Structure 1
Amino acid sequence: MKKNAKKGLRKGRGSRNTLKIEDIEAVFAERKPGAEGNFKFFSVLVPLVEKEDDLYLLYEVRAKNMERQPGEICFPGGELEPVETTEECALRETWEEIGIPQEQIRVITQLDTLYTYSNFAMYCYLGVIPEAALEHLQFSENEVDEVFLVALNDLLAVTPEVYPIRAVPQIPEDFPYDKVYEGKPYPWRGGKGSVPIYEVDGRVIWGLTARITKHFLEIITEKEDTDV
């Protein structure tokens, strides 16, 4: 007898099992839902800082020795661990990257989730960091070179450049269309996205960080418009 991977049902060699509801229930009794296929989950904190009666967003500059996106601008965040919630991930990563304890961060809300065509989702949390916490930052040298603030009003005054992009499926030449689509080419679906670019205070904020920034600014300005 041989077990399927991940505590699946037992299969008899050369025979066909008669499955029962109880067998199916046993497989799923302790199984937690995840993502099918090669899919990953990340969380970021979108940190607001109130300073001298103005509001700022806090950004990081990734360390130049990092393998992925060295020197680029981002929000604090990283990959979700199995034992934590998406909010706990955002707070943990902020602590690990710039040394702000979780108890000093007040989470306002979860923002909209960002899905990408490259097989990952990014959960976003809007939080408030006290100005005093900025005096005691401790950077993870392997991850962060510096942090900086950008005034919300300065960001709102900028119209970002936005470039549309497309993800086009690449199908193997030997795909058996004759078996699945009567020999005709199948209309595979591609993906669509956009790449915003903000230039403000001598900095260039682009990519996913700019997408999160742009969406957040659109939300708060729409709310202002409805309040008028």
Structure 2
Amino acid sequence: MERGGIFSTGADAGRLSIGENDIRSVFQRRRHQPSRLIDVRGDGDGNPDLLIPGELREAAVLVPLVDRPEGFTILFTQRTAHLASHAGQISFPGGGVEPEDEDPQATALRETEEEVGLPRHHIELLGNLDTYITRTGYRVVPVVGLVRPPFILNPDPYEVDTVFEVPLSFILNPANRKREGREFKGAIRHFWAFPYGDRYIWGATAGMLVNLCEVLAEVMEG
């Protein structure tokens, strides 16, 4: 049985169900399309004048779409407050590419298992989103995976404070995302944000979510 979330284009607009077959078809088409190139002088949030370190470090994250009976959700982690970088922020499981990793997909699966204890046999990889350049000098490949419950998580207490899920329908609704700005090194840096209850998803994670929304919007055109 096909299970789906809702793609809402606004409070007064129509709705479109996003089911598993829809998601699969979108990523199957993407395999035959060239990846979008991102200017490394800027970052994935559309700040073209923000200088990025000259040598980018390779990384990958998993964008986990969890197949719940009530509709798809997205799994996130909240980083612990003591980490040296991005402390306390909400992110996808992931990290830097290691020499033993065959490709970004292998990195995403390995990091997900290390960070939250989700075994890779629960994950079916569907494809990639656009490569995302962060202001801290990472070139990140977001890998989208379909996650089949039931599963038991075992988060790494050093890196992960908590793991939670957000309905995909919430993320796909444009009314739930905001364009914001903060001062960074004397200039205003713009970024996307998804406030969700008492949680605040922003920065690179939110930028990747906007890209996910753009990719899944192709269903509306089909």
TM-score normalized by the length of structure 1: 0.67
Q: What CA deviation, in whole Å up to 9, does each residue of 1:123-170 have, x standing for no partner? A: 11000111201xx110101100111111111222334221368989xx
Say if 2:133 is the partner of 1:115.
yes
Match of 1:9 in 2: none
Partner of 1:75: 92
Which structure exhibits the higher relative contact order, with contacts defined as CA atoms closer than 8 Å and separated by 6 or more residues? 2
C-alpha distance in structure 2 between counterparts of 1:64 and 1:37, whole Å = 28
What's the CA shift string for 1:106-129, capped at 9, x where partnerless?
Answer: 101122111235432001100011
Match of 1:161 in 2: 178
Distance 1:146 1:87 in 2: 23
Q: 1:205 to 1:37 in 2, by over 3 A?
A: closer
Could you tell me which residue of structure 2 aligns to residue 220 of structure 1? 216
Q: Give runs of ≥4 in structure 1 deviating > 3 Å.
A: 163-168
1:195 aligned to 191, 196, 199, which one? 191
DSSP-derived class of the 2:150 partner: helix
Q: SS in structure 2 opposite 1:198?
A: strand
Taking structure 1 as reference, are residues 197 and 87 closer, same or farther at Cα in structure 2, changes over 3 Å only? same
Contact 1:162 1:197 in 2 (8 A): yes
- 1:54 is aligned with what amino acid? G
TM-score, length of structure 2 as denominator length: 0.68
**Counterparts of 2:115 and 2:204, CA distance in 1:** 18
Q: Distance in 2 between matches of 1:193 and 1:131?
A: 38
| Residue number in structure 1 paired with 2:124 | 106
Taking the aligned partners of 1:166 and 1:50, their CA distance within structure 2 comes to 38
Contact 1:117 1:167 in 2 (8 A): no
Determine what percentage of the aligned residue pairs are the same residue: 29
Tell me how large the CA RMSD over aligned residues is. 2.5
For 1:127 and 1:193, locate their aligned partners in 2 and report how far apart those are by CA, in whole Å. Answer: 30
Q: Is the 8 A contact 2:170 2:176 kept in 1?
A: no
Equivalent residue for 1:182? none
What residue in structure 2 maps to residue 146 of structure 1? Answer: 162
Are 2:60 and 2:104, in contact at CA under 8 Å, matched by a contact in 1?
A: yes
Q: Contact 1:113 / 1:123 at 8 angstroms: preserved in 2?
A: yes
